[in-house]
Structure 1
Amino acid sequence: MTSSANALVAPLPVAASSDYLDSPKPASYLINARTVWISDIHLGFRDCKADYLLDFLSHIHCDTLYLVGDIVDLWSLKRRFCWPQKHYQVMLKFYELAAKGVRVVYVPGNHDDPIRHFSGQLFGPIEIAREHEYVTADGKRLLIMHGDAMDAYINHSWLKRVIGDHGYELLLFINRWSDRFRKLLGRPYFSLAGLIKSNIKGAKAAIATYEREAIAEAKRRGYDGVVCGHIHYPALREEGGLRYANCGDWIENCTALVEDHQGCMRLLHHSDKIHWQELQSA
């Protein structure tokens, strides 16, 4: 596939028979996009995949970059300070992209909630917005929000919240060691935590409720869809004429949403290999 000014560029074949298009990463490639969305990076948290994110940010060319919440994990930093060099480099990369003319819009989440107090202001060249409206190249109006407001619709008791937090820490511990063993065996990165989580009944029900309410919120407010994050569960589909797009995260899944200059949105998994997921229709 050759590069052009108005195309999404990636070194992979088009295979209409598959939702996922897989390809090893060559030494040099470029993703040329209109807009890119990333969320739930959790800088300051030990399981942040900053190395994969830096590689991704070094290979994008876009007009607009949305940071859809939980970029810096202030909750984790409060418990234990952790700020490796690569986390600092990610922050510098955002400023570098903005300095080169990329519009960078930061929509804070619950883990970086204090930044919401600066909505409508600038951090240097980076715009801060509590929420944002985006119009795709093909004319769809999308609500951009982190999505933690949808927690109000999910029935969590105090005990379930505590168990959930500890359970998630255990999943990340398993994921961390699984990734180390896979690297020793020469295997590519795989989110074992994501696989386990997606097969737990309670987690599946919570994810389904979140997705349903996020779509309903966009519909109530007259949008054609929603772009969000928060639950660390990447997705891209249309349901009843409404688009649901979840950026995923850079702790478990290493994913981003990408729109080309024709308005086509795809979900990109970017670690040792790249995997493209096309828009699914329900």
Structure 2
Amino acid sequence: MKPGESFLTKDFLRANGKREPLRFRAIWISDVHLGTTGCQAQRLLEFLRRTESDTLYLVGDIIDGWQLKRRWYWDQSHNNVVQTVLKKAKKGTEVIFVPGNHDEAVRQFIDLDFGGIRVRDELIHTTAQGKRMLVLHGDRFDGVIACAKWLAYVGDNLYTMILKFNQIFNSWRARAGLPYWSLSQYLKLKVKNAVSYITSFETALADEARRRGLDGVICGHIHKPEIRDIDGITYCNDGDWVESLTALVEDQAGVLRLLTWQDVVGVTMQQHNEEMEALCVSPS
């Protein structure tokens, strides 16, 4: 598959059936940050409504308790996301919530179940191919969080400022007919120290999976979607719903892939257009 090419091919769509949600064995989402103005709740809502899975993992920082303590913000779209997840749980999707550092208050409810949602500190997911993957948010492997939490709060404030500018910038791009582009992601990848920090984080998590005798790790926290091999360990980061708008998915064959909001919306729009074209074709 070429870089940037979606795996949602016509064969995949036919297998899932037109006018039906795209179905997966498992979906992982994290770093939604409900309760902040930077949260892309409406786009996440579109993603959730157009996908289904046997298991839905919420891998931390779903609700941003840090920001809500400073200033209350809760849009109707944030309510809709919560209601959609609860509806999925009610309809039979196994929903597992692994709290992160921004929603760490939920960690007091570890091993309890609420409204069909299981709260767990971490767990092991076994893919259809038999790979055993450690699932956790990942903040415990962040040196800043572990050793200097006050610095994390400072960084969070600066990050919020960048996101506000990013919203204005992308509103200009939308008016010009240009696609969404993340300034904060760009800055992260260009700043040497940020790149070094991300690499250290990924290596630490891969080492932990190796220490436990597992095949890989699935996490969130650093807002950088990634699937790569680190010395024989499969490292997966499902990204976020502030910058990258990505999720990690496992198909029925057990293959792990990254899926973007643009993939899902583009494909379902293609389905709709093809159906409309078929209706408009006169019988010969």
Shorter-chain TM-score above 0.5: yes
**How far does the alpha carbon of each residue in 1:219-257 deviate from its partner, in whole angstroms, 9 at most, with x for none?**
111111100000111101122221100011101111100
Identity within the alignment, %: 42
**Which ranges in structure 2 are unaligned for 5 or more consecutive residues?**
268-284
Please state how far the C-alpha of 1:18 moved relative to its aligned partner: 2.9
2:138 partner amino acid = G
The CA deviation at 1:188 is 1.8
Instruction: Give the secondary structure class of the aligned counterpart of 2:87.
Output: helix
Deviations 1:148-180 (A, max 9, x none): 001138897689656633432332123111111
| Alignment partner, residue 66 of structure 1 | 57
User: Which residue does 2:47 correspond to in 1?
Assistant: 56
The separation in 2 between residues aligned to 1:117 and 1:157, in whole angstroms, is 22
Query: Aligned equivalents of 1:79 and 1:267: distance in 2?
Result: 33
Q: Which residue is equivalent to 2:137?
A: 146
Q: Is the 8 A contact 2:59 2:136 kept in 1?
A: yes
Give the secondary-structure state (helix, strand or coil) at the position aligned to 2:236: strand
- TM-score, normalised relative to structure 1: 0.85
Structure 1 equivalent of residue 206 of structure 2: 215
Unpaired runs of at least 5, structure 1 = 1-15, 277-282
What per-residue deviation string (whole Å, max 9, x for no partner) do you get for residues 54-111 of structure 1? 0000011210000000011111110000010000010001110011110000000011
1:149-188 correspondence runs (5 A):
149-152=140-143, 161=152, 164-188=155-179
Q: Identify, as 1 or 2, the structure richer in strand.
A: 1
Where in structure 2 are the equivalents of 1:73-152 lying within 5 Å? Answer: 73-152=64-143
Corresponding position: 1:239 with 2:230: yes
SS where residue 6 of structure 2 aligns?
Answer: strand
Partner residue in 1 for 2:279 = none
Q: Which whole-Å CA distance do the structure 2 matches of 1:41 and 1:50 have between them?
A: 8
Q: Deviations over 1:173-210 (max 9, x none)?
A: 23111111111112221212211221111111111110
TM-score, normalised via structure 2 length: 0.84
Structure with greater proportional helix content = 2
SS at match of 2:82: helix
Misfit runs of 4+, over 2 Å: 16-23, 26-30, 152-167, 271-276
Letter in 2 for 1:17: K
Kept after mapping to 1: 8 A contact 2:140/2:146: no
Partner residue, 2:278: none
Partner residue of 2:190?
A: 199
User: 1:119, CA displacement in angstroms?
Assistant: 1.1
Cα distance, 1:274 vs structure 2: 5.8
